[in-house]
Structure 1
């Protein structure tokens, strides 16, 4: 991405987003108006688990190199998202990986989890078995940290998105508010909290933690890695902006910008995220807040969702039965659709059993009852967020496979009492590209201010 792009105006420049998900990565390039210019995707390869870091690096530069030169040459900024709490232990000076990466879903052993719970406040997200803090403590308890220090190496921790960005800008001391949350970062304070700092000082690890910054914040250009690594893919002159997690990038992709707007992701389960002026954290319901700009992204997840439908219906059956549903004639069925017992949100009941009886003879009515009940649970979820202090709901944007079902959308709008529409964009890489555009606009604003000051 050549220096000429850095001098382009907002509408002439392109912006690039990279999403590193669970099974592969995707790149999206947009123009200044948000239109998609080009996209590409890649799996990590069958042998990726043998060396995750090498696979991610290979895919990063492979995707950048695969873009058409005409598009790549106009990219002025980029941002990267990765899976939450996927972390690496590095040599802070050389960038060498000192221990195999720990993935987002890798629960740590009982000693590390117990240590995390001792350090963190009760039920804090950093105390979870899959948190970044638990992974850091695993490396410390296992001696990897001490072994590096004994060799004269300064160990450093980075998240997946942080590390991939470091391959372009060459710095290994920066993260973002969203990725750093499960390490213990407090986005309200814009700092690591005292309960974590005091423990770090005793253990000598504070300096190894990456500083937090907002997603999309104007980033860095150049650095020791930019010429060697970025240059080989044409990325040496692009501004690398603050990244985020894959779920936050997907939220940004949906185009939600105003307090009160929300995104419901209808996949195998049902996740809700509401943009709120107030922060809400409640461990009893698995609710915690990410900071997004000047607002809070409050989220929770129900165990109901598409996985229940898969127990009973094929895609063809869903299409045929949905066509026969009469939305204006409610089924009157009161279900709580679950695959296995247990629910955390909007009710906290680990023993809650699936309720899918009575089952009508007509499967279209049975399906209608399930969809109506899921819509009711979605409404209860947003009502629970409101009771806990979040901003009132004004609109719901839908992402995921369930977004294409127009009759279900009508049921949900009736249950929620607000407009419901399908997200125009659902790819996390598109959300990352929007964050890159945000950083570029900050750059242009700063440059204009500097010109006015100089004038």
Structure 2
């Protein structure tokens, strides 16, 4: 390999993955490690780092290390930890889905937070930062990706605009807003913020030695796992959509302007000179899994004719309540009348979820995003041919292949952007 290589690292809920990528976006090496292989506590930063080390070493063993020029990291959005001046964690991190249960802290945020901020709620990074500022010796409160990148760079003072969003960062004016101080949070605890893909600095010499890398390797600002997954697909133009067909239905749409709709939980990430808006429904694969096992879904799907509609109007939910593309805590499930055969019932649910997907993209457009021009698909449902055909009929736009489904590939793309910024490509 005689071209510069960028490495992306993704730290997820169960493990770490890494990829090496060429400037032509070709993935030439991959590595992975499970958190469980290093201990029983997935909250342990020590275990995070061990998994990252293992995944990174697995990739480096497959390439000429001399051609590695940059590394970027993504990790779970909303996972925070307090550290001292040396970057040593001082308390167990609060994970992306942990809730702050202190009413006084939440009330202080609610009293001053703007409606369009992404820092609402008990799981926000801002609420967690308020908890951590009382930890003895705390110097900085970092996001998970910040801490991993900090280990590589040798300093712990920087975050990226995407990870900072749920901690209260203003992506329009591009600064920590003044109202954050009114919550009682010490501004000095917040890291400086740079754009995803911005060069941070070269790798720490002791890290270069540990991994057998050049001391000229650039550490590049990363992003959240969700943004990285979007970038991994290769979507890069306004109107490009990415649908994740996992346990829930999640939509992301690239826009030339920001979209904020607090009532729907919609906010926008600034990325690569554009904006990424999206929403998540309570419908999705978990509803299908409630009725059918995975092998049953595959068997029944083979009997479905996607071009002949059932004529039913299902809205597949397991319980009342929807958040996007409609906002109604009492929105009722619609799963009747049930067709006589299981294949017909599955087909009606697939049609219903596809209709929600269409309504979701239409809703984003109504709120200011550009019309949907293309779709790339992620998640287990993307491999179902019958469902794909139903979705194609419903959406009426080209379905394009995802370049990769690995979030680490999205981080690698950011590393390539950083290399271009420093003139190393």
Structure 2 counterpart of 1:421: 400
Q: Secondary structure at the match of 1:374?
A: helix
How far the C-alpha of 1:266 sits from its partner, in A, is 0.4
Equivalences for 1:210-359 in 2 at 5 Å?
Answer: 210-222=191-203, 226-235=204-213, 236-359=215-338
Q: Secondary structure at the match of 1:409?
A: helix
Q: Which has the higher helix share?
A: 1
How far the C-alpha of 1:35 sits from its partner, in A, is 1.4
In the alignment, structure 1 segments of 5+ residues that lack a partner are 1-7, 149-153, 448-455
Q: Deviations over 1:94-140 (max 9, x none)?
A: 22222221111110112322222224224732121111110111123
Equivalences for 1:404-415 in 2 at 5 Å?
Answer: 404-415=383-394
Mean alpha-carbon deviation: is it higher for 68-77 or for 270-279? 68-77
Find the aligned partners of 1:232 and 1:89 in 2 and give their Cα distance: 25
Structure 1 counterpart of 2:177: 193
How far the C-alpha of 1:41 sits from its partner, in A, is 0.6
Query: Are 1:19 and 1:80, in contact at CA under 8 Å, matched by a contact in 2?
Result: yes
Find the aligned partners of 2:109 and 2:48 in 1 and give their Cα distance: 28
1:125–1:441 CA distance, 2 compared to 1 (3 A)? same
Structure 2 counterpart of 1:4: none
Find the aligned partners of 1:364 and 1:258 in 2 and give their Cα distance: 37
Structure 1 counterpart of 2:99: 107
1:133 to 2:122 alignment: no
Task: Provide the TM-score with structure 1 as the length reference.
Answer: 0.88
Find the aligned partners of 2:392 and 2:244 in 1 and give their Cα distance: 15
1:75 to 2:68 alignment: yes
Find the aligned partners of 1:231 and 1:59 in 2 and give their Cα distance: 18
Structure 2 counterpart of 1:5: none
- RMSD over aligned CA atoms reads 1.9
How far the C-alpha of 1:406 sits from its partner, in A, is 2.1
1:62 to 2:45 alignment: no
Q: Deviations over 1:287-340 (max 9, x none)?
A: 111111211100101111111111122222222221221222111011110122
Find the aligned partners of 2:375 and 2:62 in 1 and give their Cα distance: 38
Structure 2 counterpart of 1:450: none
Query: Are 1:20 and 1:26, in contact at CA under 8 Å, matched by a contact in 2?
Result: yes
Find the aligned partners of 2:409 and 2:371 in 1 and give their Cα distance: 27
Query: Are 1:342 and 1:349, in contact at CA under 8 Å, matched by a contact in 2?
Result: yes
Find the aligned partners of 2:290 and 2:125 in 1 and give their Cα distance: 34
1:70–1:362 CA distance, 2 compared to 1 (3 A)? closer
Aligned residue pairs: how many?
421
Query: Are 2:7 and 2:68, in contact at CA under 8 Å, matched by a contact in 1?
Result: yes
In the alignment, structure 2 segments of 5+ residues that lack a partner are none
